[in-house]
Amino acid sequence: MNLISLIGAVEIGLVFALVALGVYISFRVLDFPDLTVDGSFPLGAAVAAAMISGGINPITGTLAAIVAGCLAGIVTAWLNIRFGILHLLAGILTMTALFSVNLRIMGRPNIPLMNQPTVIDLFAWLRPLVEASGLPGRPTLKVLALLIIVSVVGALLARFLTSEFGLAMRATGANPRMAQAQGIPTEMHTYIGVAMANGLVALAGALFAQTAGFADVTVGTGTAIAGLAAVILGETIFRTRSIVIGIFSCVFGAIAYRIAIALALNTGWLGLQSSDLNLVTAVLVAMALILPKVANPMRSLLKRSAT
């Protein structure tokens, strides 16, 4: 693997770190398996790309993408809470609807963003540093910019989840009955949590469009599973229940996962091509979910033979 593809892997890893944080909020904090993210990722990309290519300031476009993602999350939470639709199905419904919504927003299936202003331009002050490092200019600048954004978002999220409000949200996911008995309005926390998760994923989508240079309605396929893969990988590396380390492990997991994927795709003898990405991801996540269950009987077998 060459330097360019390594930097590329880190770049997409940082974008997916935001997806991982969103998935962490819904799947882990709230215990709400939310598949809306497959639609809110391209939604973020669509909103940002449509606005930027329409001449609107990229910061405004990115913020609008976050708001759109939050709204998508609220729709899913509303279907689940208000009408009792199973969370998985509610997410799939919103995701399905978003495919059409995204096409409407973009007006066509694909918007190129080459030579358009992006939020990365805000980090132009880092350019001397990048040049001094001797690394390839534009990709390195993107990585540094994303690193700063992800760090800020991660720190804010860690602060949020250790606040009284955030702790109440964690209790909502861990034991809703107890949470209610402690005076926590669990429905409100579910709405806000799912909205936040999708807002983060839409931010990832917006940044993806601006760093990759295009938005496409199909970029969302497998987002939830890719995010979950990053979360699981991070959890496997850092076995912890601490929130701060948990958030760090999501980011780390997302980057490590993308580097691993890049390595696999660059290894000729495996015969993998980039279109195999979703298959590899699904197999990896399935393995991660199966292994803890298989490992136990194996361990007890080993123990039995030892005694």
Number of residues counted as binding other proteins (CB under 8 A): 24
Q: Does residue 307 interact with other proteins by CB under 8 A?
A: no
Give the separation between CA 278 and CA 295, rounded to whole angstroms: 25
Q: Is 182 in the site for other proteins (CB under 8 A)?
A: yes
Q: Which of 240, 204, 214 is nearest to 13 (CA)?
A: 204
The nearer residue to other proteins, 78 or 160, going by C-beta atoms, is: 160
**Could you say which of 149, 184, 202, 262 contacts other proteins (CB under 8 A)?**
184
241 lies in the binding site for other proteins (CB under 8 A): yes
Buried b (16+ CB within 10 A) or exposed e, 53-71: beeeebeebbbbbbebbbb
What is the closest distance, in whole angstroms, from the C-beta atom of residue 77 to other proteins in the complex?
17
165 binds other proteins (CB under 8 A): yes
Binding residues for other proteins restricted to 185-214, rule: CB under 8 A: 185-186
Q: Is 65 helix (H, G, I), strand (E, B) or coil?
A: helix
Question: How far is C-alpha 214 from the geometric centre of its chain's CA atoms?
Answer: 18
7 Cβ contact partners less than 8 Å away, ≥ 6 residues apart:
135, 136, 139, 140, 143
For position 268 contacting other proteins by CB under 8 A, the verdict is: no
Which among 1-9, 84-92, 94-102, 176-184 is the span making contact with other proteins, rule CB under 8 A? Answer: 176-184
**Residue 131 CA neighbour count, 13 Å, CB half:** 5
**What is the C-alpha separation between 265 and 262, in angstroms, rounded?**
5
Contact assessment for residue 200 and residue 69, using Cβ atoms and an 8 Å cutoff: yes
**Residue 181 makes contact with other proteins by CB under 8 A:** yes
Q: Is 162 in the site for other proteins (CB under 8 A)?
A: yes
Using rule CB under 8 A, residue 240 touches other proteins: no
**Residue 152 engages other proteins in binding (rule: CB under 8 A):** no
CA distances from 150 to 13, 142, 158, 250, 305 (A): 11, 12, 12, 11, 48
| 116 part of the interface to other proteins, by CB under 8 A | no
151 binds other proteins (CB under 8 A): no
- Decide if residue 164 touches other proteins (CB under 8 A): yes
User: Is residue 168 a contact residue for other proteins (CB under 8 A)?
Assistant: yes
Nearer to other proteins, 22 or 166 (CB): 166
- CB-CB contact of 237 with 253 (8 Å): yes
Residues that bind other proteins (CB under 8 A): 159-160, 162-168, 170-171, 174-175, 177-186, 241
